[in-house]
Structure 1
């Protein structure tokens, strides 16, 4: 008998999938859940950006997930990259430093004005991430980085 994946939490569904790797239905249910989480974050960050920049044009970057472009009145374009950080990873501070180095390298290579938005998995982790980014304010990327929220256990975006 097939379990009801709709009633499982994301964590329960992931555990089930790991225990039943050949269950295609579980895989697709989990993939849908992940896609829905990313779409939720993307829509929420877009709304947050509109509130922060009420007189500027904001568009989703073509063919890019979790990337937006803001054009100011002088036609200067700023790229907004959104990163979802799961701080349950054993040494996420190292991962965060590597991610920031990669973002910095990309912005220098592409010569873009960049603003980085971080979203975490829950309120506590979002607040820890905010603290850690503040401690890492050593380059232009971290100075323009902002932790804006988290995704709660029901998959809903919450601002901090």
Structure 2
């Protein structure tokens, strides 16, 4: 794992531990790389609850409760799907904060308005009796491995940004 990813995963773990929160990951295009990055940190069992690798739409619907209507209307690679993935990860776990990734890592799969390298990120956290969700979309350059690695690093750093002010 790259030094910047290791530092980000450790920092995220420290923040989660400070809040006494657990993390869940819901991954599509990153295929478990985000969960691997956080579990590379010694002691992560204190702040990482579980990861879901939901590559197919069926898995997204079954494991994360992503709506069939959401997938049909917006597609698997959309902020709407990413937010439902993150919210579903919270609902299906004991986590307090969740990160989701869904995108087009390439080399194929691009469609109009959704280029290779586009990744949508969903973030969800428990707030009072409900769940708050946010989404961000980024387009990364590079081959499949580079897009996936960049997505993991972005997800870690973005999670830190969402948690830090809380």
Name the TM-score, length of structure 2 as normaliser.
0.33
Name the TM-score, length of structure 1 as normaliser.
0.34
Higher relative contact order (CA 8 A, sep 6+): 2
